[in-house]
Amino acid sequence: MAQNLKTKVRIREDVKSMKAYTPTTSLDVFAERLGLNVDTLIKLDANENPFGPSPKVQETLANLQNMNIYPDPESNRLRDLLSDYTGMPREQILCGAGADELIEIILQLFIEPNDTIVNTPPTFAMYGFDAPLYYGQVIDVYRDENFDLDVPAIEQAVIEHEAKLLFLCSPNNPSGNVIPHETMKRLLDLPTTVVIDEAYIEFAEDDSIVSWVNDYPNLIVLRTMSKWAGLAGLRVGYGIFPMDLMSHLWKIKQPYNVNLAADVAAQASLEDTSYLLGLVDQMVAQRKRMVEAFAELPFLSPYPSESNFILNKVVGMGADKLRDRLAKEGIIVRYYNKPRLHDHIRISAGTPEQVDKLLAVLKTLA
Ligand SMILES: Cc1ncc(COP(=O)(O)O)c(C=O)c1O
């Protein structure tokens, strides 16, 4: 009997052999691992807002009511505020538990077994990680040595594989560079749906292309409250979609995907945008300061960034060694060891005090 039951437990073969996604580690785990007090840690590994959310969020959450009632499945008030913020009609906005969830919902909507998505690594890992879980095939078209797109190769891949989706990230994580608008227009002429992830657009000089959704029936734009608004822990993202997709998206999304705390916190943030965009300016100022200081160090070669983080090639010492030496001082950065990113680290913009400490430690290593 026991034997019979055992043979009936049959999980997917591809999941058995897949590699796990490596998320950021919690501060408590880091503190324990490093033997340091959690309050002394400087977390610069996940592009979070080091200043925290708006004080209005703290106040709203302290007074949170109706936790026994399911949240609004349509996030109506939040979508109204997002409509004001983006200038796009609320009917074309769908909210999710982070932009991460919207990536999954898009794959659920488009991908049938063995359909193809085109991905442009090095980029945000979630597109390539999620697609196979929804039975999509991933075609990687690598960026060049400056992390710019290989446009002719993308065009060829989309056409040859009849790709259902092309995922683009601008500013790109982890390289920090933007895709020129002319390039986006060229790629939007392809016979595929283009998902442009603007998770970091608030930090960029370039304007958002969200209004282009009015002109291109094949454009989806993803945004998040995690970075600029400091709500990474609450999980709120949103997408702006062509109107024709909306009724289908509503059919497939989980009804209560945006929880009550996340919903009201995002609303409070959108009612305090001038405060939060002031913090964005401070993060950009710190990023500029960091790039200049990194460029002076013999072992770091920073790439220009339009975001709230800086990718660096580490020269003359292993990037893992540098990561470990910073960790010893309680400074956590993101280390990469994969194609095109061997010996690279990414460091998020911190508060002025955090950057003071980071630069002081780095100077001792020079
Ligand atoms: C480019 C990009 N898109 C999306 C996300 C996920 O955002 P969220 O926290 O809203 O799920 C991230 C998070 O790091 C990101 O870097």
Q: How far from each other are the two terminal CA atoms of the chain, in whole angstroms?
A: 66
* Ligand 1 center from residue 172 Cα (angstroms): 11
Question: What pLDDT is attached to residue 262?
Answer: 98
Percent of the chain with pLDDT over 70: 98
Report the C-alpha dihedral over residues 272, 42, 175, 172, rounded to 10 degrees.
-30
Quick: pLDDT tens for 56-97. Answer: 999 999 999 999 999 999 999 999 999 999 999 999 999 999
Measured from the Cα of 124, ligand 1's closest atom is: 1
Instruction: Give the DSSP H/E element, type plus range, for residue 222.
Output: strand 219-224
Per-residue pLDDT band for 4 (boundaries 50, 70, 90) equals: low
Residue 1: the pLDDT is 54
**pLDDT tens profile 194-239:** 999 999 999 999 999 999 999 999 999 999 999 999 999 999 999 9
Ligand 1 centroid–CA 4 distance in Å is: 43
pLDDT greater than 60 at residue 3: no
Q: In the structure, what pLDDT confidence band is assigned to residue 26 with cuts at 50, 70 and 90?
A: confident
Mutation test residue for ligand 1: of 101, 106, 169, 173, the one with most atoms within 8 Å of CB: 173
Which DSSP state fits 133?
A: H
Q: DSSP assignment, residue 10?
A: -
Residue type, 57: V
Pocket test for ligand 1, best of 226, 257, 336 (most atoms within 8 A of CB): 226
Beta bridge partners of 140: 119
Name the closest-CA residue to atom 7, ligand 1.
99
The domain spans of the chain are 12-52+274-365, 68-272
* pLDDT band at 9; cut points 50, 70, 90: confident
Q: Closest ligand 1 atom to the C-alpha of 226?
A: 9
For residue 25, what pLDDT band results from cuts at 50, 70 and 90? confident
Return the sign of the alpha-carbon dihedral for residues 53, 59, 60, 66: positive
Tokens of 229: 């608004």
Higher-confidence position of 350 and 33: 350
Atom of ligand 1 nearest to the CA of 232: 9
Confidence of residue 24 (pLDDT cuts 50, 70, 90): confident
Joined tokens for residue 165:
């989706």
Distance CA 289, CA 323 (A): 20
Å from CA of 226 to ligand 1 middle: 7
Of the pLDDT bands very low, low, confident and very high (cuts 50, 70, 90), residue 22 is confident
* CATH 1.20.1090.10 applies to domain 12-52+274-365: no
Q: Give the DSSP H or E segment for 65.
A: none
Which residue's CA lies nearest to atom 8 of ligand 1? 98
Q: What is the pLDDT of residues 117-161, one digit of tens each?
A: 999 999 999 999 999 999 999 999 999 999 999 999 999 999 999
| Residue range 252-264: mean pLDDT, rounded | 98
Q: Which residues line ligand 1 (CB under 6 A)?
A: 47, 98-100, 124, 169, 173, 197, 199, 224, 226, 232, 237
- Alpha-carbon distance of 165 to 199, in angstroms, equals 18
Are 286 and 279 contacting, i.e. CB atoms less than 8 angstroms apart? no
What is the CA(224)–ligand 1 centre distance, in A?
7
Ligand 1 mean position, distance from CA 19 (Å): 20
Q: Which of 82, 120, 224 to mutate to test the pocket of ligand 1 (most atoms within 8 A of CB)?
A: 224
Residue 276, pLDDT > 70, answer yes
Give the CATH architecture of domain 68-272: 3-Layer(aba) Sandwich (3.40)
100 CA distance to ligand 1 centroid (A)?
6
| pLDDT greater than 70 at residue 2 | no
User: Across the chain, what does the average pLDDT equal?
Assistant: 96
pLDDT of residue 6: 61
